[in-house]
């Protein structure tokens, strides 16, 4: 199969796809004819850009909310929904390691904002999240490459 052409626009669109729908982007890239190495490089760098952007945006967003609404104690009792309950359970039982393990299954924006909210003071948390997405990209890309080579 002929290798797919890479232009600045296509790399930018693949980066965007890696941020928005990380779990399907490696499969889509391999299916469109990109090599495993190219796919891993683009999805890893795209997710790293997304982590950096959403990490900083998340920090700014939570600081802005606290400035506008005041400290958590001043706002009153928190509504505890089932989704928040699951998030707190994951955070309390597995910590940053748990978030890193499931980061590839949830999106880059959600993982980055959650990490910025709860682990902003943890040493190298942002870099660990970027590394976790690079590992996820490698796993998903190799798995897709193996499946594709077995089918052809």
Write the pLDDT tens digit of every residue in 53-111: 999 887 788 788 878 877 666 666 677 788 778 878 878 898 899 889 989 888 899 89
d(CA 24, CA 38): 15
Answer whether residue 21 is part of any domain.
yes
Q: In which domain, by residue range, is 25 found?
A: 8-75+94-151
pLDDT tens for 71-83 read 666 666 677 788 7
**Is 117 inside any structural domain?**
yes
CB 54 within 8 A of CB 26: no
- Cα gap 30→37, rounded to integer Å: 10
Domain-embedded: residue 25? yes
Model pLDDT, residue 74:
62
Q: Is residue 81 part of a domain?
A: no
Task: Indicate the helix (H) or strand (E) that contains 52.
Answer: helix 36-69
């Amino acid at each position: 199969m002929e290798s797919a052409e890479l232009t600045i626009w296509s790399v930018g669109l693949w980066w965007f796809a890696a941020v928005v729908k990380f779990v399907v982007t490696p499969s889509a890239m391999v299916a469109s004819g990109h090599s495993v190495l190219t796919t891993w490089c683009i999805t890893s760098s795209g997710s790293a850009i997304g982590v950096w952007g959403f990490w900083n945006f998340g920090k700014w967003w939570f600081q802005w909310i606290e400035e506008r609404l005041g400290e958590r104690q001043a706002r009153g009792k928190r509504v505890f929904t089932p989704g928040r309950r699951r998030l707190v359970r994951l955070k309390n039982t597995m910590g940053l390691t748990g978030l890193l393990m499931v980061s590839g299954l949830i999106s880059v924006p959600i993982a980055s904002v959650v990490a910025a909210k709860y682990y902003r003071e943890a040493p190298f948390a942002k870099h660990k999240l970027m590394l976790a997405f690079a590992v996820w990209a490698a796993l998903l890309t190799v798995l897709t490459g193996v499946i594709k080579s077995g089918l052809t």
